Chains A and B, each alone.
Chain A
Amino acid sequence: MKKIRRSLLLKYIFLFLFAIGFIQIVVMLYMLTINVDRLFKEQPTSVDIEERWAKDMKHASPETLENVVTQWHHEYPSASFFYVDGGGMLKKQWYRKDGDDLPKQWDAMRTTKFIKSRYDSDPFTVIQFIGDDLDNGFAVLEIDRAIFETNKLDDRFIIIAIVLFIVFIFVSILFFLRILKRLVQLENAMTVREVDGLPIKIEVKKKDEIGAVELAFNQMVDELREAKKQERREEQLRRELIANLSHDLKTPLTKMRAQLRHFDKKETKEIDASIDQMSALIENLMAYTLLTADKMLYKPEDVRIDRLVNRIVASWYPAFEQAGFYVELKTTQAMWTVDAIWFERIIDNLLQNVLRHADKGKYVGIRVSVDAVIIQDNGEGIQTNAQTKGAGIGLSIVRLMADKMDLQVEIASSKEGTTVRIGK
């Protein structure tokens, strides 16, 4: 019941019934007021008038006629009168508007014609002999029939009807506009997205059908949010798992290194280097796993690539210096939209490769232009180098990350060296 009472349908039906019924209601109300009016005012009927006139004439004489007429005129100002004497001569007229249209001499033919023309027409006409004596002649009362009827569709009624009609139209428009407004609001809420890419919840103000839609919509948003949270939890779990795996793999490597101290340093140099290489491989493998599963945290932002590359090269410089490399860095201002950590990883991997595989040339050149970062070495080139197996996964990561950030990787390699170009 409660539901029905709050429904838009009920409101609409109410409005509709009102629309159909309002004219009848108004008419009924009007009739009612008229009848009440009549009840109190004692409206005369034609029969009443005829009887009274007959009675008054019966008691009158040609001499007193004047008085009677004056009395009647007082009561019915719109009535008019005339008198024809026993000889058929038109003797007198009272209050007649159209004056001389009456014949002066009334014979049988004329009288009959007059009676015929007035029978059951307007004005209502009563002919009566005075004092019931034919010799006294007759007196005629003419009165507009309008006096018996109350004004049917008078101005007042039309105005009320128009006003009510306008009110109805106005209420209808208001009703639909409000529905429309709420629908538009709903639509807006559905298209607007919050930071997390989900729609914003709507405030449910009314518990009608649209309110139910809004409620369902909010529920949907909640479910979406929950699903997204769940997804994030799973992603987090996956990252955690890989991080733990990495820990489990690297702890034994650290232990191996710890045990190396019991041996002569000269003998363990190779093992020590292998430990570092193994560690780097594990790291790359983990990164690769996360990247291919699209589970690596990615936050692109505007980054000054020249400054970032400058910092990375600065951190690599001591390693290159130790290996006897000549490091050349040339930068111009460049602003790219990338994830700084990812980009750092790309440059790290590329410089790592140069350090490990381009020892022959003892040169690394890094150039940053507005739309490209170029890393060049004078090594033996990638294809000809038999020891590039380790570089494979590093380059795969470079390619995957660059791809995700909409950067192009071009590698040109010959026996004279390798050039890697990261282009915007």
Chain B
Amino acid sequence: MTRILYIEDEPEIASWLKEEMVEYGYDVYAYESFEAFEESGESVEFDAVILDIMLPGLDGFSIARKLKRKHTELPILLLSARSMLDDKLDGLQIADDYVTKPFHPAEVIARIEVLLRRFNKKDDVLYLQHLKIDLKDFQVVDMDAGEEIVLTQTQYGLLQYFITHLKQILTKEQLYEAVWKEPYIDGDKTLMVHIRYLREKIEKDPSHPTIIETVRGIGYRVRT
């Protein structure tokens, strides 16, 4: 079960979001301040943290910084009412993502899911149409044929980046720089070529791809 640490001083908002997350299937530990959390002596290992920014005592930024120092691999999501432009940046240098108030619980959960995948906190198996992707063992299986699909490192890197950014449209620049770790050069066909290879391996009909979707002129997307 996914364990979430949630610190929020507004009881009404806290009980609401906690309820929604519990319903989704998370194990939520909610506190009204970081001090309250420390006093509780809770020693569970969390998979993700949700922090309100304006808190009595230590604020969200400070808590995030403190937690990140100890646990670099702990994803942190900030709930910010202060969506002023510079604060967003400030938050993102310490935390991994933010959601602005007034938020929808569904949005918070979606962001947490993305973060969990990005930090490999989900030991689950992902099903994409006829594909079964074991994220722990880096294994891709074609369930219709009952065969494993062997991917090259680059192809797996691409697929993994898509999976950790499910539903998001990724631009060529973003994909290239994330997978190849070099600046993208305009007109470079490398990315397109590798996406074609990947499609040839995983798509039922590579000329009409359904898993890796092309959003014309904008980028690529993988949806569940």
Contacts and interface: CB of A to CB of B under 8 A. Distances in A.
A255 B13 CA distance: 6
Tier of interface size on chain B: 35 or more
Q: Which of B87, B170, B217, B218 is most buried by chain A, counting CB atoms within 10 A of its CB?
A: B218
Given A254-B10, A275-B102, A239 B218 contact: no
Interface stretch (A6-14, A30-38, A213-221, A256-264): A256-264
Contact of B101 (A251, A329, A330): A251
A290 interface: yes
Nearest to B87: A243
Given A279-B101, A296-B85, A329 B12 contact: no
A399 interface: no
A246 B218 contact: no
Nearest to A321: B215
B contact face: mostly helix, strand, loop, or mixed: loop
A310 B85 contact: no
Interface in A235-250: 239, 242-244, 246-250
Contacts of A383: none
B106 to A, nearest CB: 12
B207 to A, nearest CB: 23
Contacts of B103: 254, 257
A313 B174 CA distance: 13
A253 interface: yes
Interface in A311-368: 311, 313-315, 317-318, 327-331, 333, 341-342, 345
Contacts of B15: 258
Given A243-B87, A247-B54, A330-B217, A310 B173 contact: yes
B206 interface: no
A310 B219 contact: yes
Q: Which of B10, B86, B102, B219 is most buried by chain A, counting CB atoms within 10 A of its CB?
A: B102
Contacts of B186: 333
A181 to B, nearest CB: 46
A342 B89 CA distance: 12
Q: Which of B54, B85, B168, B170 is most buried by chain A, counting CB atoms within 10 A of its CB?
A: B85
A258 B11 CA distance: 11
A207 interface: no
A314 B104 CA distance: 21
A253 B87 contact: no
B84 A259 contact: no
A318 B168 CA distance: 8
Contact of A314 (B12, B16, B89, B171): B171
Nearest to B83: A283
Interface string B74-113: 0000000111111111000000000011111000000000
7 contacts: A246-B83, A247-B54, A250-B100, A251-B101, A279-B101, A311-B174, A341-B88
Interface of A: 239, 242-244, 246-251, 253-259, 261, 275-276, 279, 283, 286-287, 290, 296-297, 307, 310-311, 313-315, 317-318, 327-331, 333, 341-342, 345
Shortest 8 CB-CB contacts between residues of A and residues of B: A258-B16, A247-B81, A314-B169, A250-B81, A243-B82, A254-B102, A329-B217, A253-B102
Interface of B: 10, 12-13, 15-17, 53-54, 81-89, 100-104, 167-171, 173-174, 186, 215-219
Given A257-B102, A314-B171, 9 more contacts: A243-B82, A246-B83, A247-B54, A248-B81, A251-B10, A253-B102, A327-B218, A328-B216, A341-B86
